[in-house]
């Protein structure tokens, strides 16, 4: 319906492509102009474009010429000339839309065109990939083009330090993964000093495999955690208990909703085992939670499907790509429950320090675009959540892949037997086969079956991810059989006959040529060292040698039908199935695809197997007899549509809650950044103190002066901002005050006291403005962490409000705003109380400590450590934050006694 409406309004794919084709032709027409230029003249265009932008022209004004320049540079540096369809894709990306481009159509090169154009603004372009390998490979490979044109290129991968990250983000074009960029954003909003931040803004992002990142991972939040305080003992006790329970009798499982529930019998057993009266009492919430998480770990999460255990560690497997999600942990104690189940060390439950979803992270960009081979089925979600429409870019050559009807079996045993027989049949002809599985467990089971048949093959799953690119690059060889978990290897093309470039690079590495030399050697830049020229000569010789073999193999593979995709199970999402199919039939090559499914597969069992089971039963089919019919394929796709629609509604509903948290996060982070950027906080501190004193007077001075609670007021203001004994010492004057007079008196007392403290602290060589800034940031961070936890708890229980005919989202909004106000009040109170109640060491004490420290460094190791005291070199002299600490430790002052200049 969505498509028909767009066509009726003249917004359909063909109508969208018409102006794009016309503009691509205009860009092509510029080719002769730039072909005639020397390298120096072509490189000089970048400075000319920047100058034109400064004079008032827009990026749209420059688009045709900039794309033509980048196209010519690609030809000279990479030996690749973007096709017309790649120019169209680049225009779509520049417009802030999603370009659906089929596998093998050159998305990596396409992204360089809008990246070059938008980098001219100097604000930075982020090109986002799904893993470190792709970020590094694309950054190095496409970097040759950008550097040739005078732009800098950075790469963000896992093991970089802050200085390296900052340098990478400062570049004109930065390649990196969604995880790394999201975590860097969170870490930037936890720093105490502005110079420790690494990112410089979010102007324009091009997201590769945009459907994977913005939809598949949309509900997976990025979480930075700190060590929690709770013991892990209860996880182990819960695990020992649930292994004795029986399904259906003691607990029920709702696989569709991924939920478990204790039955009355199960609850009774739990009460006996843990000696509690009622497991559902609020006081037993923690125990109940641990039991349910332990049940989930056993009933819903399967080893080698949802996670793997390596070196005594539980590692999550990405259900969409089959890759290991290193460093990621299930939240809410589930990861600990799985650790207890697998009898590995149970890590302490973490405390969330900062969190954000990809939905909210990528919506921060001023302009967002993306590319993928499969986006059209999710266009409603892209439009509804990200305001991104999808343009289907035509293929450079007609697509001739044959998609065969599904083969449906009654049981898994019959299905796998048929899969092996089909692999053996096609393997005899030499046709390369890519077998797609949904889990590590299935891939290893199939591998075992093929080994028994003597069929040589490669396995690519979460356990073998290190060889991912090598396995995928050679999966198009004549006679190759490759088993891959889901979309593992996504982003690497499968070339029929093999990949000569990959083989040549591998040979150079085996000859111990360094990677940086290989990257330069595989480019076209002529201004290189003799070492690179020698490596280039060797690379070209190797590539040409391998190309003869791979070209011959290519023809052989084409003759037997090209790459065949064999799916062993349908995914919940049609898009994931289409991604698997899309590995075959690239660039006009022949190919084929077919899915083998059984009624015992999760999709069929949970979403529509009964109707098909009845049909197969009526036909009297046995377990090993297949049914291939277009009608069944249609029914399966309808089941997938229902699930996709349901999942979209779930993501949309979750986003309504996330948006509330996101507004609060943005407010906290923007105010935090103002503090970081050096804004003078003295007036802010004074305003906070005044507000707290006004609130105290309003609370304790109600009614006539005779009715005031002066003792309560005294305790409150002395706890906050007024010196001890202030009210007692001025008892007579106080008795004549009205509310306004009392407030003015307390404000003046606080201001005088603070001025005195400021003079004392400054005399110690401590910058009072820096101290205010640091204490305020610490207060914000501590209270924000507590607020995140409180919001999580509110969200966990808010769904129950629906039973009282109240909208949970509105209830959540109202209560969360109240909680946010309370958090702000507590931040102010913490800041004021800390600044006013700091215990200041006298200079004489500090200098004595300094002398002792300097004279007895050798003896210090044998003595119990004393509380570190603040030090400075001379009375009244300020010590710079980056100067050596006068205590003689060798550390900078900010990292030594500068941290402990005052103590609470």
The percentage of the chain sitting over the pLDDT mark of 90, rounded to a whole number, equals 36
- What tens digit of pLDDT does each residue of 655-686 get? 888 899 999 999 999 989 988 887 778 888 99
For the beta carbon of residue 731, count every other beta carbon within 10 angstroms: 9
CA dihedral 371, 374, 378, 381 (to 10 degrees): -20
Query: Is residue 344 within 8 Å of 309, Cβ to Cβ?
Result: yes
Q: How confident is the model at residue 375 (pLDDT cuts 50, 70, 90)?
A: confident
C-alpha 771/C-alpha 187 separation (Å) is 21
- Residue 893 confidence (pLDDT) above 70: no
Q: Which of 671, 881, 660 shows the shortest CA–CA distance to 189?
A: 671
User: Each residue of 13-51: b (16+ CB within 10 Å) or e?
Assistant: beebbeebbeebeebbebeeebeeeeeeebbebbeebbe
Q: Which of 196-200, 490-494, 681-685 is the least confident region?
A: 490-494
CA distances to 15, 341, 389, 450 from 94, rounded to whole Å, are: 18, 49, 13, 47
- CATH class belonging to 229-348: alpha beta
Residue range 641-651: average pLDDT? 82
Strand partners, 117: none
C-alpha 339/C-alpha 308 separation (Å) is 11
Residue range 419-446: average pLDDT? 90
Q: How confident is the model at residue 588 (pLDDT cuts 50, 70, 90)?
A: confident
C-alpha 660/C-alpha 651 separation (Å) is 15
- CATH class belonging to 2-221+360-392: alpha beta
- Comparing 205 with 217, the larger pLDDT belongs to 205
Strand partners, 224: 354
The percentage of the chain sitting over the pLDDT mark of 70, rounded to a whole number, equals 85
Q: What is the pLDDT of residue 850?
A: 35
Query: What is the pTM (predicted TM-score) of this model?
Result: 0.76
Q: How confident is the model at residue 11 (pLDDT cuts 50, 70, 90)?
A: low
Reading the block at residue 57, the tokens are: 């022209």
Element (H, E) at 50: helix 45-54
- What tens digit of pLDDT does each residue of 444-471 get? 899 999 999 999 998 887 655 556 667 7
Q: What is the pLDDT of residue 653?
A: 83
Q: What is the pLDDT of residue 593?
A: 92
Q: Which of 331, 333, 330 shows the shortest CA–CA distance to 230?
A: 333
- What tens digit of pLDDT does each residue of 780-829 get? 999 998 898 888 878 877 776 777 788 888 989 999 999 999 999 999 99
Query: Is residue 133 within 8 Å of 473, Cβ to Cβ?
Result: no
Query: Is residue 412 within 8 Å of 598, Cβ to Cβ?
Result: yes
What DSSP string describes 702-732? -SSGGG--HHHHHHHHHHHTS-TTHHHHTHH
- Residue 407 confidence (pLDDT) above 80: yes
The CATH fold assigned to 402-496+562-650 is Rossmann fold (3.40.50)
Q: What is the pLDDT of residue 620?
A: 59
- Residue 532 confidence (pLDDT) above 70: yes
The CATH fold assigned to 667-837 is Helical scaffold and wing domains of SecA (1.10.3060)
Q: What does R_g of the chain's alpha carbons equal in angstroms?
A: 33
- Residue 863 confidence (pLDDT) above 50: no
Query: Is residue 896 within 8 Å of 887, Cβ to Cβ?
Result: yes
C-alpha 418/C-alpha 571 separation (Å) is 19
Residues whose CB falls within 8 Å of the CB of residue 545, separated by 6 or more in sequence, listed in order:
none
- Comparing 435 with 132, the larger pLDDT belongs to 435
Q: Which of 42-46, 383-387, 763-767, 862-866 is the least confident region?
A: 862-866
- What tens digit of pLDDT does each residue of 25-59 get? 999 999 999 999 999 999 999 999 999 999 999 99
- What tens digit of pLDDT does each residue of 303-356 get? 888 898 988 899 988 776 667 777 778 877 889 999 999 999 888 777 788 889
């Amino acid at each position: 319906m969505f498509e028909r409406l767009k066509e009726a309004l003249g917004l359909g794919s063909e109508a969208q492509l018409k102006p794009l084709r016309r503009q691509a032709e205009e860009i092509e027409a510029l080719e002769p102009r730039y072909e005639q230029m020397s390298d120096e003249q072509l490189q000089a265009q970048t400075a000319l474009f920047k100058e034109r932008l400064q004079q008032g022209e827009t990026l749209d004004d420059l688009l045709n010429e900039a794309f033509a320049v980048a196209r010519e540079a690609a030809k000279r540096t990479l030996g690749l000339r973007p096709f017309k369809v790649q120019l169209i894709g680049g225009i779509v990306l520049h417009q802030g839309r999603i370009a659906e481009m089929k596998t093998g159509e050159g998305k990596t090169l396409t992204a360089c065109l809008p990246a070059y154009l938008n980098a001219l603004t100097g604000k930075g372009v982020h090109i986002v990939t799904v893993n470190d390998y792709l970020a590094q490979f694309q950054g190095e490979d496409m970097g040759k083009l950008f550097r040739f044109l005078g732009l800098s290129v950075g790469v963000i991968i896992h093991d970089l330090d802050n200085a390296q990250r900052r340098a990478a983000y400062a570049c004109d074009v930065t390649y990196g993964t969604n995880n790394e960029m999201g975590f860097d954003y969170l870490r930037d909003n936890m720093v105490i000093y502005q110079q420790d931040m690494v990112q410089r803004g979010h102007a324009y992002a091009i997201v590769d495999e945009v459907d994977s990142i913005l939809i598949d991972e949309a509900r997976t939040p990025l979480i930075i955690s700190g060590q929690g305080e709770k013991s892990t003992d209860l996880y182990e006790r819960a695990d020992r208990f649930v292994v004795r329970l029986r399904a259906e009798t003691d607990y029920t499982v709702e696989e569709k909703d991924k939920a478990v529930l204790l039955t009355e019998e199960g609850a009774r057993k739990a009460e006996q085992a843990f000696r509690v009266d009622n497991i559902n009492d609020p006081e037993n919430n923690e125990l109940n939670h641990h039991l349910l998480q332990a049940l989930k770990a056993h009933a819903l999460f399967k080893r080698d499907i949802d996670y793997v255990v390596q070196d005594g560690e539980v590692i999550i497997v990405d259900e969409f790509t089959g890759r290991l999600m290193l460093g990621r942990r299930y939240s809410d104690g589930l990861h600990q429950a799985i650790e207890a189940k697998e009898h590995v060390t149970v890590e302490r439950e973490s405390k969330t320090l900062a969190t954000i979803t990809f939905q909210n992270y990528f919506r921060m960009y001023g302009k967002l675009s993306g590319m993928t081979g499969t986006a059209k089925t999710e266009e409603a979600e892209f439009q509804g959540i990200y305001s991104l429409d999808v343009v289907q870019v035509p293929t450079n050559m007609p697509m001739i892949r044959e998609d065969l009807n599904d083969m449906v079996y009654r049981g898994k045993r019959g299905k796998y037997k048929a899969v092996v027989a089909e692999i053996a049949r096609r393997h005899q002809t030499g046709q390369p086969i890519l077998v797609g599985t949904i889990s590590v467990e299935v891939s290893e089971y199939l591998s075992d079956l093929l080994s028994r048949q003597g069929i040589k093959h490669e396995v690519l799953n979460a356990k073998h991810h290190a060889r991912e690119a090598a396995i995928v690059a050679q999966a198009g060889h004549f006679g190759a059989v490759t088993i891959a978990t889901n979309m593992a290897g996504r982003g690497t093309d499968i070339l029929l006959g093999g990949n000569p470039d990959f083989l040549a690079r591998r040979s150079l590495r085996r000859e111990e040529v360094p990677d940086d030399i290989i990257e330069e050697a595989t480019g076209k830049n002529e201004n290189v060292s003799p070492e690179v020229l020698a490596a280039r000569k060797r690379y070209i010789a190797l590539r040409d040698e391998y190309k003869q073999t791979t070209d011959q193999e290519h023809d052989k593979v084409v003759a037997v039908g090209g790459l065949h995709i064999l799916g062993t199970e349908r995914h919940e999402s049609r898009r994931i199935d289409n991604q698997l199919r899309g590995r075959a039939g690239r660039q006009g090559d022949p190919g084929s695809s077919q899915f083998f499914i059984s009624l015992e597969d999760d999709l069929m069992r949970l979403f529509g197997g009964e109707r098909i089971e009845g049909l197969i039963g009526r036909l009297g089919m046995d377990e090993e007899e297949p049914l291939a019919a277009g009608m069944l394929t249609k029914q399966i796709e309808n089941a997938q549509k229902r699930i996709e629609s349901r999942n979209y509604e779930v993501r949309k509903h979750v986003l309504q809650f996330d948006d509330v948290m996101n507004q609060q996060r943005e407010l906290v982070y923007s105010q935090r950044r103002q503090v970081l950027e050096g804004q003078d906080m003295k007036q802010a501190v004074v305003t906070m103190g005044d507000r707290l004193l006004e609130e105290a007077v309003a609370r304790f001075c109600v009614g006539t002066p005779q009715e005031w609670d002066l003792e309560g007021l005294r305790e409150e203001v002395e706890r906050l901002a007024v010196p001890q004994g202030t009210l007692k010492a001025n008892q007579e004057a106080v008795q004549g005050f009205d509310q306004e007079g009392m407030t003015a008196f307390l404000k003046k007392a606080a201001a005088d006291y603070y001025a005195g403290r400021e003079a004392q602290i400054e005399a110690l060589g401590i910058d009072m403005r820096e101290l205010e800034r640091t204490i305020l940031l610490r207060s914000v961070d501590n209270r924000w962490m507590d607020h995140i936890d409180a919001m999580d708890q509110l969200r966990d229980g808010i769904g129950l409000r629906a039973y009282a005919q109240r909208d949970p989202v509105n209830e959540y909004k109202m209560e969360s705003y109240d909680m946010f106000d309370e958090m702000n009040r507590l931040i102010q109170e913490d800041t004021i109380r800390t600044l006013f109640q700091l215990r200041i060491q006298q200079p004489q004490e500090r200098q004595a400590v300094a002398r002792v420290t300097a004279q007895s460094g050798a003896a210090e190791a044998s003595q119990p450590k004393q509380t570190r005291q603040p030090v400075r070199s001379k009375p009244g002299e300020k010590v710079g934050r980056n100067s050596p600490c006068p205590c003689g430790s060798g550390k900078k002052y900010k990292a030594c006694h500068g941290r402990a200049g005052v103590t609470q």
